[in-house]
Amino acid sequence: MIIGRRRAETMDFAPGMAEVLAEDARLSPLGDMAAATFWAEGARHVADIRDLTFEGAAGQAQAARLYRSREGRTPVLLYIHGGGWSGGSIALNERAARELAAESGWSVLSISYRLAPAHPFPAGLDDCRAALAWLRREGPALGLDTDRIAVGGTSAGANLAMATALAEKQQGLAKLLLFYGVFGADFSTPSYERFAAGPGLTRERMQHLFSLYDPQGERDREPLITPLLADLAGLPPALLIAAECDVLCSDSERMADALRRAGVETSLHIEPGVTHGFINRGRLLPAATAALHRAAGFLAGRP
């Protein structure tokens, strides 16, 4: 099903979206920590937050943060941040992680991974797979139900989440939660054409990010870079949440169609009047909180 579709040609912003874009412009020269602090203010309380490390695929220590929604054994979402495979952080996703944990009753393990261009494909993906293996080993001692692990992420993190699910298809993941993901490498889709110059993420920027992550140019034949090329049969139920005013909106539409054709239980929600990266902007943008509430309901099994 497709929920909440509006004609993108109107470019009508959701309440608060113009203010978010202005605030992002103000924060940009101040760096990630200033942005993370601003957007996390007022985030939901959760029962416990613990900073952890796991061993990455090359034996290196990688940071992770566990958000516990409640006492007792809980299912867990492995959450992979976005940032064009070359940036982003756990801290920049604090608000989303807290909201998902508080609303769903699941715990959320938000992870880091090696970044391009110093570490191009498949380094980041290999670290995500290492995180999943670590979670399966260590999760029970952390009070996590490792029989119910979902994988999710935002933007490039949604790409890595999908690639992790494809690479670990036999591991019996519970669900996929994918926010405005990068699933194809076709820069002429309707949303790429409509929003080539923004607002927010641009076509030129996406082309540059692909060149950092995939300097060998494998994306036209490698499904772990371009999941729309993959055999999607056997994946767990998926919820895709896209931003209407985003070059990547068509990627989510095409992935939802491909998942359904492969027999995967799939829902697609396109949030009207918002731009790429919106879910951590709930301080000013009610639509962000609403989208996270929808995502939490999917995890919890609410209709």
Q: What is the pLDDT of residues 161-172, one digit of tens each?
A: 999 999 998 889
Q: Which helix (H) or strand (E) holds 216?
A: none
First to last CA, the chain: 13
Asked if pLDDT for residue 7 goes beyond 60, the answer is no
CATH classification for the domain delimited by 2-300, as one of 1.10.10.350, 2.30.180.10, 3.40.50.300, 3.40.50.1820:
3.40.50.1820
Asked if pLDDT for residue 6 goes beyond 70, the answer is no
Catalytic-residue membership of 119: no
Contact 220, 162 (CB under 8 A): no
List all residues 6 or more positions away from 224 whose beta carbon is below 8 Å from its beta carbon: 121, 122, 125, 163, 166, 167, 230
Catalytic-residue membership of 246: yes
Q: Pick the catalytic residue: 246, 251, 252, 269? A: 246
> What's the predicted TM-score (pTM) here?
0.95
Asked if pLDDT for residue 2 goes beyond 50, the answer is no
Contact 65, 90 (CB under 8 A): yes
| CA gap 129, 168 in Å, rounded | 8
Question: What's the burial of 47, exposed, middle or buried (CB within 10 Å: 0-12/13-18/19+)?
Answer: middle
Q: Which two tokens stand for residue 240?
A: 């895709």
Domain extents for the chain?
2-300
Catalytic-residue membership of 276: yes
List all residues 6 or more positions away from 53 whose beta carbon is below 8 Å from its beta carbon: 61, 62, 63, 64
Q: Pick the catalytic residue: 69, 110, 155, 250? A: 155
